[in-house]
């Protein structure tokens, strides 16, 4: 940090401290006059958007909001207040108001919350305005807001203090409104198809249902080590055993792994399971969900992501993972990990000759192939069976699974199987998977899930969609942090309290 930057920060902190002291003095003045600066309730009021949509000259209304602008013209004062739905102008003549309202005006600052009652009219420029008759104080802001017309330029500050980002950046606010609309469209479509929304545990005895390093936690009463879920899959499939044939969960899951523009340790997934279906049915469902959401949220089946035009018109393209590996690397699904690694090295990939499992090598290959998939929606099929411990194999080839991953705009956004429901085969695969794990990653068999399977699970298809990544596409955001209200960040020194 340069001396100039350090000096600027010190001066800014001094300004904020002085600002806070001035506002605290106004708080004291309000209290001395018997005016509550933080009342427990606001007057009955009408949202600003509703007032503007049903504007009627002379109509008496009560509105609430945050002061975002202040202009004085002689003996009159104009304020702009803002709520969730919009902004409206207020016109005040202090000397025409009662003594309480006059005292409130003297204590007001930008960012305070107020309520007003008055009649509607339009100014000479046509601006919808409330001529204030009564003024009510709702909340005093002690810290300044960023300059609204500049917004928050510091990206880290935008994530740490999202509330300031949403106040000052209308585009950021639109991202999260669109996120809400997208999730609503997904939920409505599934509900209309007879799926039942359910909730499953976030704390698991054994981390399962997906590959990933879990977060650990501890339950004091039971003296029990637990894990935050990496996926809800195994619990949802127990509901298929129970006879709930169509279930879904929009869930929070956790992976104790790297952070990037595509990964946040806490993320939102949709998982859907349907009895008497397979991965082909899940393809059709994935297309329906995404196209329907696009129509409802964007009003079209086209979107632009990072300057790339993406056509969502079904049917989505299909390509074969096994075929790509054979053509590019001469890798066969029967190859062991050492052979796969040698073939990659022979093609010029600088991979260290170390002991890797087939699953680890498979992940490396997936990352290599992502760049060649393209932008339009693409189902990548024919994954090797050893990469899919929870999926059924193809009838004509036991080394290939009935699985797909869905890519859009270069992002992996979905994963689906024909779910394995053979309890003997499932146990064998779990045991084989355990053998491949390093000692530090050892975990137990999920016996509860295996016992459930032994009671009989119908043939079923399962689909997982990454909500955060899909929202990135639908809002044209380059980073997953831009679509999560409060992404995980490194801790920093907390601000001094007042």
Looking at residue 359, its pLDDT comes to 65
Domain that holds residue 444: 168-483
365 near 331, Cβ under 8 Å?
A: yes
Q: Kindly state the tokens that stand for 29.
A: 């003045």
The answer to the question of residue 150 being in a domain is no
Q: Clarify whether residues 81 and 197 are in a common domain.
A: no
> Are 120 and 178 within one domain?
no
In a domain, 301, yes or no: yes
pLDDT at 234: 95
Which two tokens mark 326? Answer: 């054979």
Residues 185 and 250 in one domain: yes
| 279 and 356 housed in the same domain | yes
Spatial CA neighbour of 461 closest among 405, 412, 421: 421
In a domain, 280, yes or no: yes
Tens-level pLDDT at each residue, the chain (498 residues): 454 444 444 555 566 788 899 999 999 999 999 999 999 989 999 999 999 999 999 999 999 999 999 998 888 999 999 999 899 999 999 888 999 999 999 999 999 999 999 999 999 999 999 999 999 999 999 988 876 545 566 788 889 999 999 988 889 999 999 999 999 999 999 999 999 999 999 999 988 877 788 999 999 999 999 999 999 999 999 999 999 999 999 999 999 988 889 999 999 999 999 999 999 999 999 999 999 999 999 999 999 999 999 999 999 999 999 998 898 889 898 888 788 888 888 887 776 656 666 666 777 777 777 777 889 999 999 999 888 889 999 999 999 999 999 999 989 999 999 999 999 999 999 988 887 765 445 567 889 999 999 999 999 999 999 999 999 999 999 999 999 999 999 887 666 666
Helix axes 321-329, 358-370, angle to 10 degrees: 90
Distances in Å between the alpha carbon of 350 and those of 300, 341, 342, 383? 43, 10, 11, 24
Query: Which positions ≥6 away from 200 have C-beta within 8 Å?
Result: 229, 232, 235, 236, 249, 251
Count of structural domains within the chain: 2
Contact, 109 vs 20, CB < 8 A? no
CB 247 within 8 A of CB 191: no
Do 124 and 192 share a domain, yes or no? no
Q: 274, exposed or middle or buried, with CB in 10 Å at 0-12, 13-18, 19+? A: buried
Do 324 and 368 contact (CB within 8 A), yes or no? no
Same domain, 104 and 197: no
8 belongs to a structural domain? no
* CATH code of the domain covering residue 116: 2.40.50.140
Q: How many residues does the chain have?
A: 498
Instruction: Judge whether 198 and 205 are in contact, CB under 8 Å.
Output: no
219 shares a domain with 263? yes
Q: Do 117 and 60 form a contact (C-beta atoms < 8 A)?
A: yes
Q: Are 459 and 421 in contact (CB under 8 A)?
A: yes
pLDDT at 153: 66
- Cα–Cα distance for residue pair 461/300, rounded to 1 Å: 28
Of 121, 139, 157, the position where a domain reaches its end is 139
Same domain, 289 and 421: yes
Whether residue 175 sits in one domain with residue 256: yes
Residue 6 lies in a domain: no
How many whole angstroms separate alpha carbon 117 and alpha carbon 81? 13
Q: Residue 33: its pLDDT value, please?
A: 92
Q: Do 135 and 172 sit in the same domain of this protein? A: no
Domain match, 117 and 174 both: no
CATH of the domain at 374: 3.30.930.10
- On whether the pTM is more than 0.75, the answer is yes
Residue where a domain terminates, one of 139, 160, 179: 139
319-353 in b/e burial notation, b at 16+ Cβ within 10 A?
bebbebbeeebebebebebeebbebbeeeeeeeee
Query: Does residue 303 fall inside a structural domain?
Result: yes
Q: Examine residue 495 and state whether it is found in any structural domain, yes or no.
A: no
CA angle 48, 53, 56 (to 5 degrees): 95
Looking at the structure, tell me whether residues 271 and 310 fall in a common domain.
yes
At 497 the pLDDT is: 61
Task: Give CA–CA dist 272/190, Å, rounded.
Answer: 9
Query: In this structure, is residue 160 part of a structural domain?
Result: no
């Amino acid at each position: 940090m340069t001396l100039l930057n350090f000096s600027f920060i010190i001066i800014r902190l001094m300004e904020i401290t002085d600002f806070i002291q001035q506002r605290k003095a106004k708080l004291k003045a309000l209290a001395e006059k018997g005016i509550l600066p933080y009342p427990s309730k606001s007057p009955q009021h009408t949202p600003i958007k509703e007032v503007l949509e049903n504007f009627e000259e002379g109509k008496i209304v009560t509105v609430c909001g945050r002061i975002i602008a202040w202009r004085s013209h002689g003996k009159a004062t104009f304020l702009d207040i803002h709520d969730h739905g919009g902004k409206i102008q207020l016109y005040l003549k202090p000397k025409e108001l009662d003594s309480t309202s006059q005292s409130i005006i003297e204590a007001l600052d930008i960012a305070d919350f107020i309520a007003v009652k008055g009649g509607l009219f339009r100014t000479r420029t046509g601006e919808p305005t409330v001529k204030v008759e009564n003024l009510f104080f709702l909340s005093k802001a002690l810290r300044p807001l960023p300059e609204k017309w500049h917004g928050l330029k510091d990206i880290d500050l935008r994530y740490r203090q999202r509330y300031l980002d949403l106040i000052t950046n209308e585009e950021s606010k639109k991202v999260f409104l669109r996120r809400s609309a997208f999730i609503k469209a997904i939920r409505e479509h599934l509900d209309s198809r007879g799926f039942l929304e359910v909730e499953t545990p976030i704390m698991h005895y054994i981390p399962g249902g997906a590959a990933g390093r879990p977060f650990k936690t501890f339950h004091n009463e039971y003296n029990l080590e637990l894990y935050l879920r990496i996926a809800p899959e195994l619990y949802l499939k127990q509901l298929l055993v129970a006879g709930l044939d169509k279930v879904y969960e929009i869930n929070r899951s956790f992976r104790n792994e790297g952070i990037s523009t595509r990964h946040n340790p806490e993320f939102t997934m949709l998982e859907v399971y349907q009895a008497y279906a397979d991965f082909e049915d899940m393809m059709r469902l994935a297309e329906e969900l995404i196209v329907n959401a696009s129509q409802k949220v964007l009003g079209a089946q086209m979107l632009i992501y990072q300057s790339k035009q993406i056509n969502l018109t079904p049917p989505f393209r299909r390509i074969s993972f096994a075929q790509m590996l054979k053509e590019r690397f001469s890798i066969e699904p029967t190859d062991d990990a050492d052979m796969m690694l040698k073939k990659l090295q022979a093609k010029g990939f600088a991979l260290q000759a170390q002991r890797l499992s087939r699953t680890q090598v498979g992940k490396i290959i997936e990352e290599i192939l992502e760049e060649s998939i393209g932008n339009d929606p693409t189902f990548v099929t024919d994954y090797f069976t050893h990469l899919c411990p929870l999926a059924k194999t193809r009838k004509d080839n036991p080394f290939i699974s009935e699985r797909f991953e869905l890519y859009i705009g270069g992002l992996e956004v979905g994963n689906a199987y024909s779910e394995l429901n053979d309890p003997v085969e499932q146990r064998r695969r779990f045991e084989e998977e355990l053998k491949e794990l390093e000692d530090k990653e050892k975990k137990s068999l999920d016996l509860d899930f295996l016992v459930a399977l032994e009671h009989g699970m119908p043939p079923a298809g399962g689909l997982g969609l990454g909500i955060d990544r899909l929202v990135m596409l639908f809002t044209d955001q380059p980073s997953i942090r831009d679509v999560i209200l409060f992404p995980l960040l490194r801790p920093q020194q907390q601000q001094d309290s007042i």
